[in-house]
Structure 1
Amino acid sequence: MSKKQTSQQDKKPKAEFIFQKRNYLFMAIGLACIALGFLLMSGGGSDDPNVFNPEIYSFRRIRLAPTLVLIGLGIEVYAILLNPHKKKK
């Protein structure tokens, strides 16, 4: 190879993924929080539509589960905006 061909190959930018391992780790944590929130929300219904089940208004379904889903969504946003190339101090 001549010098001209070698210098052209050196100038090509390296293909690199936008997200790194740290981004994917936070994405997995966020997805786990969202899934856990939806699991906690499920259930509490009644087989008979004429019978009221007060369990549907429990703390777990009304407060805890939606909070976990929102926290998971926040973690997902953070994972997307996280810059893995930024130097740690």
Structure 2
Amino acid sequence: MENLWCKREKADELKELKKKERNDERLAVESRRIEMKQEQEELELKRRMDDEKIMNMDLSAMSELQKKFYIGLQEEIIARRYSSGT
């Protein structure tokens, strides 16, 4: 009877250990998902700031080559914004 009780305790301990491991894995995955979302939001904010800087550039003092370059970037920004629906 004592032997059966010991086996039962070991089985319960193993079950709890596996449960804890699964929970730890789930928490790690959720934590990484949150980190990735924050990184994505930071990148989007940086992109928007860069886009705004390009869109607000004064092209009047630039050479024709520079104007063409920045006008091309501005057109890309506009196309990207309209295609994404934002």
Question: Normalising by structure 2, what TM-score?
Answer: 0.35
Q: Which has the larger radius of gyration?
A: 2
Higher RCO (CA < 8 A, seq sep 6+): 1
Instruction: Give the alignment's TM-score, normalised by structure 1.
Output: 0.35
Higher helix share: 2
